[in-house]
């Protein structure tokens, strides 16, 4: 990657990761230049960001005609639709693409950026979950680095630096356990939208917050870790760590374990990906709070109860099945979470609906992009058709 300043294209600038990426750009203007911004539909915030950072290019996915009209009115010269995202991700003035769009929208732009030789700071789980075999192969062929932004994968990445990959025994992902790690089955059946959105340690967008409550998010992270670090699923474990201080661990063949610790903050893993291999001094910036061990006093670790979190179990099963099962998992989960957030599906119904979809899926081995997208679309359509038949539907 080039020396500083590094020129950034930010896909998903109005989301949680996108906004925190811009926080870092504000604190280190001599290190990072925001060249391009792209968002889905929050035109007002996108316009504010464009006025502040003066990017050369702005794109809006604009998933409705009303959003497109608003974007064209507020952002002269705005690039519209997926072609706009692709143009932003591949522009010659860009050094590093922060892939922070949620869901399916990030897949094609991320692959296009890889083929254009851009370094990828990856915050979009679905890209590797659905198409890890294609993404990692393309990165190897193009000599492109994929730098993880998720706190857990960033922790593993940091622990592996300077180590021999062949000496890794296992990766240990930590999970907070979400708001319902001690809830009874009766309490889980009565979970409200507000309760599910109240994550105990992290502040995120609604989709990922619900995925964290069901632990689907952790299942997706297992799949992501498999592709990022080229380890078998048998070498990846998950342990519940409610304080979210230890972000993940690596155990080596001699029994030694390395771990990365910090108070919960996404600014740190984002910054680490943007500045790698340099570590920037955050003292006085207000980005990362100092970790004082006496204040923490105690850390807790627990086994993950698979039966309590069926979404995690479904994700691991889809990973083992391979082919287009992970793509169907993503599509079914997106639809199920959307139905839950709309008040049409109960919290336990999320897992029930996903399982019903996966039971009907006919997988394709080694899928290409059209097959991946078709499987995901099929899963969403099937989920919509099935949800009203489930006993857990409200």
Digit-coded pLDDT (tens) for 125-152: 999 999 999 999 999 999 999 999 999 9
Q: What residue ranges define each of the domains in the chain, with the CATH number in brackets?
A: 6-149+266-275 (3.40.50.720), 156-256+301-389 (1.10.1740.10)
pTM of the predicted model over 0.85: yes
Looking at residue 390, its pLDDT comes to 62
What Å distances lie between residue 249 and 146, 161, 174, 211, CA to CA?
20, 13, 8, 22
Convert the pLDDT of each residue in 197-254 to its tens digit. 887 776 677 888 899 999 999 999 999 999 999 999 999 999 999 999 999 999 999 9
Tens of pLDDT, residues 17-53: 999 999 999 999 999 999 999 999 999 999 999 999 9
């Amino acid at each position: 990657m080039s020396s500083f300043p590094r020129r950034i294209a930010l896909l998903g600038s109005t989301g949680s990761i996108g906004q925190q990426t811009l926080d870092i750009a504000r604190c280190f203007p001599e290190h990072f230049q925001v060249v391009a911004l792209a968002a889905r539909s929050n035109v007002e915030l996108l316009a504010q960001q464009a006025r502040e950072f003066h990017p050369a290019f702005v794109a809006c996915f604009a998933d409705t005609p009303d959003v497109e009209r608003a974007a064209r009115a507020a952002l002269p010269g705005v690039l519209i639709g997926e072609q706009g995202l692709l143009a932003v991700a591949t522009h010659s003035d860009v050094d590093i693409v922060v892939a922070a769009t949620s869901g399916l929208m990030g897949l094609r732009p991320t692959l296009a950026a890889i083929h254009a030789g851009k370094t990828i700071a990856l915050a979009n789980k679905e890209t590797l979950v659905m198409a890890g075999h294609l993404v990692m192969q393309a990165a190897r062929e193009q000599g492109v680095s994929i730098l993880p932004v998720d706190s857990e994968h960033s922790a593993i990445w940091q622990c592996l630096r300077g180590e021999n990959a062949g000496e890794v025994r296992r990766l240990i992902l930590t999970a907070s356990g979400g708001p319902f790690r001690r809830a009874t089955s009766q309490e889980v059946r009565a979970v409200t939208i507000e309760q599910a959105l109240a994550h105990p340690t992290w502040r995120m967008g609604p989709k990922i917050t619900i995925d964290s409550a069901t632990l689907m998010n952790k299942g997706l992270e297992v799949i992501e870790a498999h592709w990022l670090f080229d380890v078998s699923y048998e070498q990846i474990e998950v342990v519940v760590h409610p304080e979210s201080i230890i972000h993940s661990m690596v155990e080596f063949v001699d029994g030694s374990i390395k771990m990365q610790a910090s108070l919960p903050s996404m600014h740190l893993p984002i910054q680490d990906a943007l500045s790698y291999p340099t570590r920037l001094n955050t003292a006085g910036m207000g980005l990362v709070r100092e970790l004082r061990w006496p204040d923490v006093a105690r850390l807790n670790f627990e086994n993950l109860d698979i039966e309590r979190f069926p979404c995690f179990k479904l994700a691991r099963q889809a990973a083992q099945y391979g082919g287009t099962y992970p793509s169907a998992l993503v599509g079914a989960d997106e639809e199920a979470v959307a139905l839950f957030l709309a008040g049409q599906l109960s919290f336990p119904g999320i897992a029930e609906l996903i399982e019903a979809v996966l039971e009907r899926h006919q997988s394709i081995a080694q899928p290409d992009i059209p097959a991946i997208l078709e499987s995901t679309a099929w899963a969403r359509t099937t989920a919509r058709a099935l949800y009203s038949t489930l006993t857990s539907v409200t």
